[in-house]
Amino acid sequence: MMDAGARDEVPVHAAEPAAPSAPEPAGNVAEGEASGGVIPELHEVDVPDELREEIETAMSRYPEIRSAALPALWAVQREYGWCTPDGVRQAAAVMGVTPGYLESLATFYDLFRTTPVGRHQVLVCHNISCWMRGADDLLRAFSEAAGADAHEADHGGASSADGEVFVMGFECLGACDIAPMASIDERYYGPLDAGDAETAVEQLRSGAEVLPDKALADRPAAGGPEPEPAPETRMLFKSLDEPGLASIDTYRRLGGYSSLERAFRDLEPEELLGVLEESGLRGRGGAGFSMGRKASFLPRGEMSKYLCCNADESEPGAFKDRELMQKNPHQLIEGIAIAALAAGAGWGFVFIRGEYAAVADILDRAVAEAYEAGYLGENILGSGSRVEVVVHRGAGAYICGEETALLDALEGKRGNPRLKPPFPAIQGLYGGPTLINNVETLSNVPHIVANGAEWFKGLGTEQSPGTKVVSVSGCVQRPGNYEVALGIPTRELIYGLAGGPPPGREVKAWFPGGSSAPILTAAELDLPYSFEAMADAGSMLGSGSIIVADDSISIPELALRTARFYHHESCGKCTPCREGTNWTVKMLERVISGEATPMDLDIIASVQENIIGHCLCVLGDSMAMPVSSMVAKFREEFEEHIRRVASDSPGSGADGAAGLHAQGAEGDRSSGEAGGGTSSLAPASGRHA
């Protein structure tokens, strides 16, 4: 038994005191049903030993115990198949928190199930790149093979009658290179067709290995093992498909960890900061801010400082960090350790999206190897410096890629962005100064330390030195990650490397920096691919993810897909984003069903204007900017679509509506189910229903 004393001794970070325990309820409501809201005591719940151990181990890994909330919910879900109310209470008792707090988290994150589901989980990506390549058919095929309701599967998930298979349409899983794809029991497979779906479901039911030849784990880099010397410039991707690169021995054999050794043995933090700043390395997560300068913002002196590696790559069209971590985890770990040393951070957290479970497993193994080799932990290589690295798995929320939402999520909260200032460099994780960098950014660090700032500046352009891993997906023949020097013509990326659209098709539009970038058209294909040129064209390079739409793609449908994603991912904290994304989706659904008028297009455009610049973080803008660009650049197509659908079903605007409501996300949420709640407090909609 862990007694109260032991719980009190769980280390609590001084910057933010643990919440004093909740006032106890009054005498006779303390018992039974009514007591559910307060912190349960261990004797009131029957926690399986292994579950308790797992949660307590997680609690011991963080400076603050609430950071163990997501690991605890993961543990509950593994134990019971979903986050059962009893399981949540057990975790709450072990952690000494209210079960409501944990439920609030469980319902925020997409990967936690709060109702019973099938034993095997099949998440079918239905986001832009997969949709372009047949995701809707694939989801239907999985649903049919499992015998689950296809519509339900695309709106929160559905399980087979035998309880074996749960199928769910899911937002971008970060594997557009294998679109259309699915995550089956946390492992990625693709590209898949209807036949694969049927096979996979059979294999799941029979316990056989699932689609061995479609596993992402075994797929080589897009450019092949020996790419042409140009236009690819391999630095981060060097030796990417070297067998065993993920193991420390191979990595070291290829020269890995020599930068770390040099940094910890021979360099002062200030020297390291100088090299990083001098190199001109810009953040690869999207904002493009100088990595060295950002690190230099952290106050000096003795205090708890943190480094967070943003591995929550979730922008539709982005999948570079996944491949970097999956194939070369030690490059990242080496970068983290060096950057932590430079910033004076004693802890490095890798916040990796929960969908990347297989990659997180690889990272976990690599971190363990690095500890074993003395590259992490206390007194690294006898330098007296300490860097602890923890791989923290998210649980399905795009917003956690926003740096302050990431901090909240890492602290065990709902991933809501914070007001800035204070900026994380001053007051970040657990209230301490925090440096947050993207996976690719940190992966660059060992190379800069090894070769020097001057060498690095010799790559790429003056304003954007170095290489960039670009994810190209959608309507191209060779989707994948390509490492290039920034500034190469976009056409060369899309046509030369990625093979361009299928024969007979033309590029109609493209997102230069993930789905949140305003779209560009074929006329802009010859622009150099760089931060500056994309910004000048009214868009952005972002994290370097190109999604190509060819002339078979309906822009209104693309707009709806895009808006739905941000609507789904809006955290709900601020009004313009929460309500603006929601309203935009409803209007676009009317456009698709032909119920809209051209005036609605004006309102859609105006609503996007009302979102832009008014939100707490950039998520609202991330929908408003591309949707706005689509309506502006393809207005005729929108109007034509409305006219065509309306005339295709003469006098049946109502039928169109019924059809939509039978299929649409919002239609059925807002109609009719209000009375269906099983208990008095049940909401009429949402995942509880």
Partner 1 sequence: MRDRPQISFLVDGVEVPAEEGTMLVDAAKHGDVEIPVFCYEPKLGEPVGACRMCLVEIEGIPKLQTACSTPVRDGMVVYTRTDRVQAAQESVVEFLLVNHPLDCPVCDKGGECPLQDIAMGWGPGRSRVIDPKRHFQKPIPLSPLIKIDRERCILCYRCVRFSQEVAEDEQLQLLERGASTFVGTFDDRPYIAPFHGNIIELCPVGALTSDAYRFRARPWDIEDAGSICTLCPSQCNVILTVRDEQIERVLARDHPEVDDGWLCDKGRFGYQMAESGDRITQPLVRQGGELRPAGWEQALEAATASLRRAGERTAAIVGGGSSNEEGYLAQRIIRRALGSPHVDSRPRGGASEPPRKSVGGRTPPDPAARDLLLELSRPELAAGVADLDSAQSILVVGTDPLHVMPILDLRIRKVVRRNGTRLAVATDRPSALDGGAEETARYVPGFTRGFLWALAAEVGLEGYERGPGELAGDAERIAGVLEPGSTVIVWGGEADRALVDIAAKLNAKLLEIPDGANARGLREVGCLPHAGPGLSEASDGRNAGEIRDALAAKELEAAFLLNADPVRDFPGGPAWTEALGKAKFVLAVSMFENASTRHADVVFPAEFYAEKEGTVTHPDGRLQRLRPGVPRPDGVRPIWQVLVELSALLGDETGIDSPPEALSAIASEVPFYAGITHEEIGGRGVRWQERDAASAFPERETNGASISGWLSLEGDGDTHTGLQIGTYRDLWASEVTDRSPALRFLAPRQTLELSPADADRLGVVQGEEVDVRSNGASVRARLAIRERIRPGAGFLVEGTVEANANALEPGVLVEIAKVGGEK
What x/- string results for residues 100 through 139 when contact with partner 1 is judged by CB under 8 A? xxxxx--xx-------------------------------
Nearer to partner 1 (CB atom), residue 102 or residue 555: 102
Which stretch in 95-103, 215-223, 435-443, 504-512 sits in contact with partner 1 by CB under 8 A?
Answer: 95-103
Enumerate the H helices of 503-634 as residue ranges: 531-536, 555-569, 575-592, 598-611, 619-633
Nearer to partner 1 (CB atom), residue 36 or residue 225: 36
How many CB atoms sit inside 10 A of residue 162's CB? 11
- The SS3 of residue 527 is coil
Least Å distance, CB 77 to partner 1, is: 16
Tallying the residues shown for the chain, one arrives at 689
Which stretch in 33-41, 176-184, 261-269, 555-563 sits in contact with partner 1 by CB under 8 A?
Answer: 33-41
Question: Applying CB under 8 A, does 24 fall inside the site for partner 1?
Answer: yes
Binding residue for partner 1, selected from 77, 90, 98, 539, defined by CB under 8 A: 98
Least Å distance, CB 22 to partner 1, is: 4
User: Could you give the count of Cα atoms lying within 13 Å of 637 in the half-sphere of its Cβ?
Assistant: 17
Nearest alpha carbon to residue 315 among 105, 543, 101? 543
Residues numbered 504 to 533 that lie near partner 1 (CB under 8 A) are: none
Residues numbered 613 to 632 that lie near partner 1 (CB under 8 A) are: 613-616
Residues numbered 430 to 469 that lie near partner 1 (CB under 8 A) are: none
Which stretch in 47-55, 258-266, 496-504, 606-614 sits in contact with partner 1 by CB under 8 A?
Answer: 606-614
Backbone angles phi, psi at 158, to 5 degrees: -145, 150
Residues numbered 414 to 433 that lie near partner 1 (CB under 8 A) are: 414, 419
How many CB atoms sit inside 10 A of residue 581's CB? 28
Binding residue for partner 1, selected from 118, 227, 288, 667, defined by CB under 8 A: 667
Say if CB 100 and CB 114 are below 8 A apart.
no
Question: Applying CB under 8 A, does 29 fall inside the site for partner 1?
Answer: yes
Least Å distance, CB 9 to partner 1, is: 11
The torsion defined by the Cα of 407, 411, 416 and 420, in degrees rounded to 10, comes to -50
543's tokens:
């994290």
Total of chain residues touching partner 1, rule CB under 8 A: 89
296/545 Cα distance (integer angstroms): 28
346's tokens:
């004693």
Least Å distance, CB 175 to partner 1, is: 23
- Contacts of 529 by beta carbon, 8 Å cutoff, 6+ apart: 470, 484, 486, 487, 488, 489, 490, 493, 512, 541
Nearer to partner 1 (CB atom), residue 206 or residue 679: 679
Say if CB 332 and CB 442 are below 8 A apart.
yes
- The SS3 of residue 491 is helix
Nearer to partner 1 (CB atom), residue 180 or residue 316: 316
Question: Applying CB under 8 A, does 38 fall inside the site for partner 1?
Answer: yes
Question: Which one-letter DSSP state was computed for residue 387?
Answer: B
Least Å distance, CB 86 to partner 1, is: 10
With 0-12 / 13-18 / 19 or more C-beta atoms within 10 angstroms meaning exposed / middle / buried, residue 301 is exposed
Question: Applying CB under 8 A, does 657 fall inside the site for partner 1?
Answer: no
Nearer to partner 1 (CB atom), residue 108 or residue 131: 108
Nearer to partner 1 (CB atom), residue 396 or residue 433: 396
Which stretch in 13-21, 256-264, 540-548, 640-648 sits in contact with partner 1 by CB under 8 A?
Answer: 13-21
Say if CB 435 and CB 307 are below 8 A apart.
yes
Q: Are strands 306-311 and 347-352 parallel, antiparallel or unpaired?
A: parallel
Say if CB 444 and CB 317 are below 8 A apart.
no
546/228 Cα distance (integer angstroms): 21
Which stretch in 24-32, 117-125, 133-141, 326-334 sits in contact with partner 1 by CB under 8 A?
Answer: 24-32
678's tokens:
């099983």
Least Å distance, CB 566 to partner 1, is: 9
Nearer to partner 1 (CB atom), residue 254 or residue 618: 618
Which stretch in 172-180, 210-218, 312-320, 680-688 sits in contact with partner 1 by CB under 8 A?
Answer: 680-688
Which stretch in 120-128, 505-513, 541-549, 670-678 sits in contact with partner 1 by CB under 8 A?
Answer: 670-678
How many CB atoms sit inside 10 A of residue 584's CB? 27
Nearest alpha carbon to residue 505 among 514, 515, 492, 495? 495
Nearer to partner 1 (CB atom), residue 463 or residue 575: 575
Residues numbered 386 to 405 that lie near partner 1 (CB under 8 A) are: 397
Least Å distance, CB 80 to partner 1, is: 15
Which stretch in 31-39, 116-124, 265-273, 494-502 sits in contact with partner 1 by CB under 8 A?
Answer: 31-39
Least Å distance, CB 327 to partner 1, is: 32
State which amino acid sits at residue 552. S
Q: 388 - beta bridge partners? A: 347
Q: Are strands 306-311 and 187-189 parallel, antiparallel or unpaired?
A: unpaired
Least Å distance, CB 659 to partner 1, is: 16
Residues numbered 39 to 68 that lie near partner 1 (CB under 8 A) are: 41-44
Least Å distance, CB 48 to partner 1, is: 19
Least Å distance, CB 538 to partner 1, is: 17
Question: Applying CB under 8 A, does 675 fall inside the site for partner 1?
Answer: yes
For tokens 């080799």, name the residue: 373
Least Å distance, CB 624 to partner 1, is: 12
Binding residue for partner 1, selected from 252, 457, 635, 669, defined by CB under 8 A: 669
Residues numbered 540 to 599 that lie near partner 1 (CB under 8 A) are: 567-576, 578-583, 586-587, 590
Binding residue for partner 1, selected from 1, 213, 462, 503, defined by CB under 8 A: 1
Least Å distance, CB 381 to partner 1, is: 37
Say if CB 591 and CB 560 are below 8 A apart.
yes
**Cα angle: 110, vertex 114, 115; to 5 degrees:** 120
354's tokens:
């929960």
Nearer to partner 1 (CB atom), residue 21 or residue 451: 21
652/656 Cα distance (integer angstroms): 6
Binding residue for partner 1, selected from 47, 73, 88, 534, defined by CB under 8 A: 88
- The SS3 of residue 483 is strand
Nearer to partner 1 (CB atom), residue 219 or residue 413: 413
Question: Applying CB under 8 A, does 685 fall inside the site for partner 1?
Answer: yes
Nearer to partner 1 (CB atom), residue 268 or residue 673: 673
Least Å distance, CB 314 to partner 1, is: 14
Say if CB 232 and CB 177 are below 8 A apart.
no
Binding residue for partner 1, selected from 21, 199, 554, 649, defined by CB under 8 A: 21
679's tokens:
């208990």
- Alpha carbon 554 to chain centroid distance? 26
Binding residue for partner 1, selected from 71, 99, 227, 433, defined by CB under 8 A: 99
376's tokens:
């992490």
139/302 Cα distance (integer angstroms): 53
Nearest alpha carbon to residue 375 among 312, 446, 432? 446
Nearer to partner 1 (CB atom), residue 502 or residue 686: 686
| Sheet of 520-521, strands arranged across | 480-485, 467-474, 545-550, 507-511, 520-521
Nearer to partner 1 (CB atom), residue 41 or residue 536: 41
